[in-house]
Amino acid sequence: MNRVDRLLALILYLQSRRVVTAEEMARHFELSIRTIYRDLAALGEAGVPIAAEAGIGYTLMKGYNLPPVNFSAEEASALVTAAMLVQQFTDESIRTQMNSALLKVRAILPRERQEQIARLESGLATTATTRLPVQADLSLLQQALAHRRLLRFQYRGSGKTESTERTVEPFGLVYYTQRWHLIAWCRTRKDYRDFRADRMTSVIALSETFQSREDFCLSDFVRRTTPPSTFTARVRFNPRAADRAKREWWLGVVKEEEIEDGSILTLTTPEWTGLAFWLLSFGRSATVLAPESLRKLLAETACEVANHHA
């Protein structure tokens, strides 16, 4: 990105946020803080009204906005790609809004670029067939998160047969293990909780709002609540199985060794049972090299499964 494009992008970044620090801008643009300071000074000299407040950050003076700009071919293409993924990994509430936004993008594109986007759409596809289960309206959860509105819903925890009513302060929406999770302060349990969206029913957003909690960091919460992958295993896979293993084992492949008849992958896991059941799905295409305890567990599990089906 040349400097002119970067300065324009910096204005748009400031325009899209109420206040932002130099450190945040440096991380976003992958630049040094010194470069950000120089760019801000250049914009100020060019007449862009940037206000700075010590200890808080930078903001554009109220009333200053760039006129609407056209999308580049690359930006429009990126949105089309995002729309395809939205179709796969969100619900109807988000898909409808994404389709509406794309129509607006198309409307301001020149005719030639519209035809390019149409060709791109016809050439993009995903082989993923997994559909999310019935779950809480993601658009409703997003709006409650954005406007700091309380949510009330019925929640049925793992292994429970009865639902309980919860009133929560939403702080995050995270997608992992093929499910959306609402991270919130639960006023019922007086603690932060992770609520799976497919276990939430009768969700309503209340008119009451709440204040942000300074002690909460979403990334720290997810890191604390995710079981640490403290165990490692070395497994030999044939070439086709190795490709599948690298795609599927979301807990991490920390090392790959190429061998004549496939690959040896070093996998991390928080516990052996889940890994053992997953490895069974590979049949004879995977061989545990270490540790010996995993080899024994895999053999015992295979016998139990065989006896169950006998």
Q: What does the pLDDT average to over 58-71?
A: 75
Cα–Cα distances in angstroms (integers) from residue 193 to residues 31, 57, 168, 176, 200, in the given order: 36, 31, 9, 15, 13
Instruction: Specify the range with the lowest mean pLDDT, choosing from 127-131, 160-164, 245-249.
Output: 127-131
In this predicted structure, what is the pLDDT of residue 84? 82
In this predicted structure, what is the pLDDT of residue 154? 97
Q: What does the pLDDT average to over 156-179?
A: 91
Give the chain's end-to-end CA distance (angstroms, integer): 64
95 and 54, same structural domain?
no
Q: Which residue has the higher pLDDT, 276 or 119?
A: 276
Q: What does the pLDDT average to over 280-293?
A: 96
Residue where one domain finishes, among candidates 12, 27, 60? 60
Instruction: Specify the range with the lowest mean pLDDT, choosing from 10-24, 61-75, 99-113, 129-143.
Output: 61-75
In a domain, 67, yes or no: no
147 and 220, same structural domain?
yes
Residue 167: closest CA among 208, 120, 217, 199: 208
In a domain, 80, yes or no: yes
In a domain, 248, yes or no: yes
Phi, psi for 75 (deg, rounded to 5)? -65, -45
81 and 51, same structural domain?
no
25 and 100, same structural domain?
no
Q: Per the structure, how many domains does the chain have?
A: 4
Range of the domain at 144: 138-225
In a domain, 131, yes or no: no
In this predicted structure, what is the pLDDT of residue 131? 60
Would the pLDDT of 75 be above 90? no
118 and 183, same structural domain?
no
Q: What does the pLDDT average to over 39-58?
A: 89
Query: Binning pLDDT at 50, 70 and 90, where does residue 132 land?
Result: low
In a domain, 133, yes or no: no
198 and 148, same structural domain?
yes
152 and 218, same structural domain?
yes
Q: What does the pLDDT average to over 170-178?
A: 89
CATH number of the domain encompassing residue 240:
3.30.70
236 and 215, same structural domain?
no
In a domain, 119, yes or no: yes
266 and 214, same structural domain?
no
pLDDT tens, position by position, 189-216: 999 999 999 999 999 999 999 998 888 9
Share of the chain above pLDDT 70, in %: 95
Cα–Cα distances in angstroms (integers) from residue 123 to residues 109, 164, 204, 309, in the given order: 19, 46, 40, 44
In a domain, 128, yes or no: no
Q: Is 182 exposed, middle or buried (0-12, 13-18, 19+ CB in 10 A)?
A: buried
Residue 282: closest CA among 213, 235, 215, 250: 235
In a domain, 66, yes or no: no
CB 22 within 8 A of CB 34: no
In this predicted structure, what is the pLDDT of residue 126? 67
In this predicted structure, what is the pLDDT of residue 285? 96
Token pair 């942000």: residue: 212
156 and 116, same structural domain?
no
CATH number of the domain encompassing residue 219:
2.30.30
Residue where one domain finishes, among candidates 60, 83, 108? 60
Residue where one domain finishes, among candidates 38, 60, 82? 60
Q: Could you give the residue ranges of the DSSP H alpha helices within the chain?
A: 3-15, 22-29, 33-45, 73-89, 92-108, 111-123, 138-147, 218-225, 239-248, 272-280, 292-309
